[in-house]
Amino acid sequence: MNWKLNPLLMAGLAAATAPIVAHAKIYLPVEQAQKILVPNKPLIKNPIIITDELQDKMRSASSVRHPFQGDRIWKAADGSWFIVDEVVGKHEMITYAVVLSPSGAVTGIEILEYVESYGYEVAEAQWRKQFIGKTATDPIKLNQDIQNIGGATLSCKHLTDGVKRIAVLYDIALKSQSQAPKAK
């Protein structure tokens, strides 16, 4: 018996074994994001211990379940903060940086790494500008004071929740450290 390969079967096998192309991208290393978001201000690493109580308060205010790591926090001499965090997009982690003024208002946000295959529009400056000026007292809620991007709903929601978490972190743990040192 002679076997003949079916061309449709071959095409299906080729498609099944073809690599899935993702839109994974490292946008900025931390050092470059610091220069963009906090220009001309030296930053001093200022890690904090994230207690279970603090983690619970941040979680209840933001609904972000992924634990916050307190080792990626920097403080500028003027009392502003540069904080790196990560949230789940749809399946993969999104790493981003937020800068808070000495009063806790968001002054900037940058996407550092995005490895999902879609939803990468959250890295666009126009969408990120919505967060400028937001504090923990603002809702910082998708479809309330932050607009969604069609096709990127989960990334938008999770990043929005992440920024809320950072704003709450400021209120709970960083505000007391925010006073700029007095000149002698």
Name the one residue in this structure whose structure tokens are 């609904």: 63
State the chain's mean pLDDT as an integer. Answer: 89
Predicted local confidence at residue 25, as pLDDT: 84
Among 75, 106, 85, 96, which residue's Cα sits nearest to residue 176? 75
> What confidence score (pLDDT) does residue 184 get?
45
- For 77-120, what is each residue's pLDDT tens digit? 999 999 999 999 989 999 999 999 999 999 999 999 999 888 99
Tell me: the pLDDT tens digits for 29-79?
Answer: 999 999 999 999 999 999 999 999 999 999 999 989 999 999 999 999 999
CA 115, CA 178: separation in Å to the nearest integer? Answer: 33
> Does pLDDT of 6 surpass 70?
no
- For residue 183, name the pLDDT band (cuts at 50, 70, 90): very low
> Residue 24's closest CA among 114, 97, 94, 92?
114
In angstroms, what CA-CA distances link 59 with 25, 45, 87? 27, 24, 12
